[in-house]
Amino acid sequence: MSSDKSLQIKNAIVSVLQSKPPIQALPPVARTILNRVIDTVISDNSSKFSNNIDNSINKSLNEIPLNLIGPNNPVDLVTGNLSADNLKDSINTNLGDSLSNSLSDEITNQILTKFLGEVPTIVKATIDINQLRNTLLEGSKSGVTTSIDNNLNSFSSDLLTNKILQPPSVDKVGDFYKRLGVQSGLEEVNKQFDQSAVNDAVDESKNFDTENNDNQDKLQSQTVGFLDTSSTFPDNEYSGRTETNKLATGDIKGTIVQEKTTDRILGVRLPDNESFDQPDNPYNSEYPYNKVIQSESGHIVELDDTPGSERIHIFHKTGSFIEIDQTGSIVKRTKGSSYEFVDKNDHLSILGEGRISVGGSMKIFVSGNANIEVEGDTNIKCFNDIEMEAAGKLNLSATEEINLRSSNINIQSTTFTNLKTDGDTFISSTGSIHNKSNSSMFFQTLNTLNLKSTNSMFFQTLNTLNLKSTNNLNADGSQIHLNEGLSSVATDATYANNANIGTIGNRKNIVIETIDNPAYSNYLDNFGYETEDSEIDEDSSIFLNNQKNVGLSIGEENFQPSILSSENIVSSSSTIIQPSSFLLKQNFVPDNFQLSKHFTLADLSSRAVVTKNRVRSQVGLSYGQIVFNLQAMALNICEPVLALFPNMMVTSGFRFAIRGSRNTSDHLKGRAVDIQFRNVNKKDYFNIAKKLAQNLNYDKILLEYKDTGTRLPWIHISFKVDNPRKIVLTYNNHRRISSGLVDLA
């Protein structure tokens, strides 16, 4: 158990207890003793309390309800559907009040026993012991509850972001997801989910019927009636009805209207527990007023003149859209990241109310001056720290009142400190007042100076202490060693007022999540693809020289990147799903021909994200043989990868042979795909590749790092139905770095 965690628990409980009004109202002697006892008891037990909290959290993990577990591994870094908040809430529900009750009882008993043994009998008689017990019990429970909440926040976040491999203070979490029979902690949980997902995908691929009616209809469309080489039209969705777009006719079934309605963002947080929602979908079209353009990939433009429901709508296939409704209101939804650059001036005028809600961190930089003027009230609330620094002056001014309140207030000046008032000045303390100076100290007033403490008061200086009065100077004490005379009674001082401001409670533990920009490809990603999977070192040199020749130098040929970690992987899979021999006889199949349940021919050829090549006969293979190989890739590789990572995308599949090149790439034969993953960090690719290498049956897996284009790695996977070799390699800029997987990020 770390000392930082124990200290957090101690501070949370002690601060709550010592701030309770009944404890502050105790006689000074009793209050001093009790505060010391509280500090001692909590300090001695904070580590034990922390361990109890951790143990209870870990034991409750196996009670996580099934509704938190989706079709993918909930604790997986990339595809996990279990959030830190959901995990925390679930564990907290299972813990209930039992843990906080047991710990608060223990704290109360220890504090009360120790306190009653130390407080003088004459003082004890003035204290309501039952009231004190209830106060200690209430304060302890509040402090413990805060500690549990803080622990759950950090525990849930760390567990689901791989910062802890197993829960702290427990050697094994053998009962985690006990219903699955898992015996070796979270690593086994991951393996169980992965194996199950891959097995399901493989079983589904085994049962896939290549000659199903849908594929047969697509083949028939090549020889009967209107010839559409892609077999996209007529669309099955419009079979038996007019091909006028559904959105134009008012029929929303199966359209983006339903998609956008289901995908509305609700409950966007604002201060003071307020929130706002994405507006309802304004679609209300009637035929023939809505003019609709819909592209093959799913982009849609609507110009809607329906009386009373006039709209303009532009929709991107990813779900991003901009829509102007009948009132002139504009709703924009960006599924990726949003950028706006203004080369001159930018002006924004809002006549109504402005609202901004940011889920992560927000940074604002101003190179000139910043001016904020508010005619109403200004409220800034922070549940953690606020820092304000000025290289020049920091001025605070209020016409009516300035209130400062905290458990500790420190004021330091390197030159001098001025406190001036045109009225009275009050300094009040229920503890001790210390005045110390390394030079001179002056207290001067033209009227009355009152300093009062219910405990001790110290004036100390290393030089001269001056006490001066134009009238009487009064000092009173049990013994005063001055002139051995008796002074008159000192004038009674008035206590200072409380700060007219409250506090918002204890600090909150927050989890700051960084959402990376979505991955996309550009012309730089195309460069050098033809040598990417070569195992010949000479090809790496050729690639580097070509990069330099076009001005894309990526460093020296012999540069050795830093290796963070490495691992040799052994795959247990040996299943081979044979493609359909029916494909070997085909001279042409349309792009949308299903090779497997989720992948068409185009997905692995002409519509891959980066390389877009229609299948043709080459390198000694017929058209049908290459399609046959591509189906083997879809059934044996792509479907299991999709089951593990629904955010996968095929960046390159079939490629054309290049005259003058070695043409040894498996891509040329339809035996390889390159894959990347949407919204995944560079550092995550090592773990992804490891998971794929453990669960798939493959001929070769390459984890390829690069320093050009998007700079995101990719994973090359090749497969052949005759004796896959299961080779695992790591490359950097087309140069082999190591056998096995190596983490370079």
How much is the pLDDT for 125? 84
The highest-confidence range among 212-226, 325-339, 375-389, 535-549, by mean pLDDT, is: 325-339
Percentage of the chain lying above the pLDDT 70 cut = 66
Residue 679 lies in a domain: yes
* pLDDT tens-digit map of 243-255: 789 999 988 888 9
Residue 233 lies in a domain: no
Q: Report the C-alpha gap between 429 and 612 in whole angstroms.
A: 78
Q: Which CATH number covers residue 564?
A: 3.30.1380.10
Min mean pLDDT across 393-402, 506-515, 550-559, 609-618 is at 550-559
The highest-confidence range among 220-224, 233-237, 489-493, 719-723, by mean pLDDT, is: 719-723
Token pair for 125? 């008689």
* pLDDT tens-digit map of 284-339: 998 999 999 998 888 999 999 998 889 999 999 989 999 999 889 999 999 888 88
Q: Are residues 528 and 482 in the same domain?
A: no
569: alpha, beta or left? (left if phi > 0; alpha if psi -120 to 50): beta
Is 50 exceeded by the pLDDT of residue 516?
A: yes
Q: Which residue in 199, 192, 155, 190 sits closest to 58, CA to CA?
A: 155
Q: Are residues 39 and 147 in the same domain?
A: yes
Percentage of the chain lying above the pLDDT 90 cut = 20
Residue 627 lies in a domain: yes
In order of 24, 171, 195, 371, the CA distances from 368 in angstroms are: 49, 55, 57, 10
Tell me which of 352 and 224 has the higher pLDDT. Answer: 352
Antiparallel, parallel or unpaired: β 735-739 and 700-705: unpaired
- Residues facing residue 290 across a β-bridge: 304
Specify the length of the chain in residues.
745
Residue 357 lies in a domain: no
CA dihedral for 628, 630, 636, 639, sign (positive or negative): negative
Structural domain ending residue among the three candidates 333, 363, 381 = 333
Q: Which CATH number covers residue 320?
A: 3.10.450.190
How much is the pLDDT for 88? 66
For residues 719-737, give the mean pLDDT.
Answer: 86
How much is the pLDDT for 171? 31
Residue 283 lies in a domain: yes
How much is the pLDDT for 555? 53
Q: Are residues 585 and 702 in the same domain?
A: yes
Is 70 exceeded by the pLDDT of residue 366?
A: yes
How much is the pLDDT for 658? 78
Q: Quick one: pLDDT band at residue 484, thresholds 50, 70, 90?
A: very low
Q: Are residues 123 and 257 in the same domain?
A: no
Residue 381 lies in a domain: no
Q: Are residues 731 and 670 in the same domain?
A: yes
Tell me which of 287 and 564 has the higher pLDDT. Answer: 287
Q: Report the C-alpha gap between 519 and 710 in whole angstroms.
A: 7
In order of 57, 261, 352, 374, 711, the CA distances from 266 in angstroms are: 31, 11, 21, 29, 35
Is 60 exceeded by the pLDDT of residue 657?
A: yes
* pLDDT tens-digit map of 37-87: 988 888 888 777 777 776 666 666 544 444 344 444 444 444 455 556 666
Q: Are residues 600 and 735 in the same domain?
A: yes
Q: Are residues 250 and 113 in the same domain?
A: no
Q: Which residue in 697, 695, 578 sits closest to 632, CA to CA?
A: 578
Q: Are residues 179 and 256 in the same domain?
A: no
Domain containing residue 249: 244-333
User: What's the whole-model pTM score?
Assistant: 0.53
How much is the pLDDT for 462? 60
Residue 402 lies in a domain: no
Q: What 3-state DSSP class applies to 639?
A: helix
CA dihedral for 90, 94, 96, 98, sign (positive or negative): negative
For residues 337-353, give the mean pLDDT.
Answer: 88
Q: What 3-state DSSP class applies to 98?
A: helix
Q: Quick one: pLDDT band at residue 546, thresholds 50, 70, 90?
A: low
* pLDDT tens-digit map of 370-414: 899 888 888 888 888 888 888 888 888 888 888 888 878 888 877
Q: Report the C-alpha gap between 134 and 97 in whole angstroms.
A: 17
Q: Are residues 589 and 669 in the same domain?
A: yes
Q: Are residues 621 and 730 in the same domain?
A: yes
Q: Report the C-alpha gap between 143 and 443 in whole angstroms.
A: 42
Q: Is the peptide bond before 234 cis (omega within 30 degrees of 0)?
A: yes
* pLDDT tens-digit map of 98-155: 777 888 888 889 898 999 888 888 888 888 888 888 988 888 888 888 777 777 776 6
Structural domain ending residue among the three candidates 440, 469, 487 = 487
Token pair for 483? 């002139």
Q: Which residue in 196, 210, 318 sits closest to 643, CA to CA?
A: 196
The number of domains in the chain is 4
Q: Are residues 179 and 317 in the same domain?
A: no
Radius of gyration of the CA atoms of the chain, in A: 36
Q: Report the C-alpha gap between 691 and 384 in whole angstroms.
A: 39
How much is the pLDDT for 184? 42
How much is the pLDDT for 632? 96
Tell me which of 331 and 494 has the higher pLDDT. Answer: 331
Name, in order, each residue with C-beta under 8 angstroms of 488's C-beta and a sequence gap of 6 or more. Answer: 472, 474, 476
- Residues facing residue 303 across a β-bridge: 291, 312
How much is the pLDDT for 570? 80
How much is the pLDDT for 291? 96
How much is the pLDDT for 593? 92
The enclosing H or E element of 525 equals helix 523-526
CB atoms within 10 A of CB 396: 7
Q: Report the C-alpha gap between 558 and 707 in whole angstroms.
A: 15
Q: What is the chain's mean pLDDT, rounded?
A: 76
Residue 453 lies in a domain: yes
Structural domain ending residue among the three candidates 184, 199, 230 = 184
Q: Are residues 90 and 171 in the same domain?
A: yes
For residues 467-488, give the mean pLDDT.
Answer: 54
Q: Does residue 704 contact residue 531 with C-beta atoms inside 8 Å?
A: no
Tell me which of 285 and 184 has the higher pLDDT. Answer: 285
Q: Quick one: pLDDT band at residue 579, thresholds 50, 70, 90?
A: very high
How much is the pLDDT for 513? 55
Is 80 exceeded by the pLDDT of residue 169?
A: no
Q: Quick one: pLDDT band at residue 181, thresholds 50, 70, 90?
A: very low
Tell me which of 700 and 184 has the higher pLDDT. Answer: 700
Q: Report the C-alpha gap between 601 and 592 in whole angstroms.
A: 6
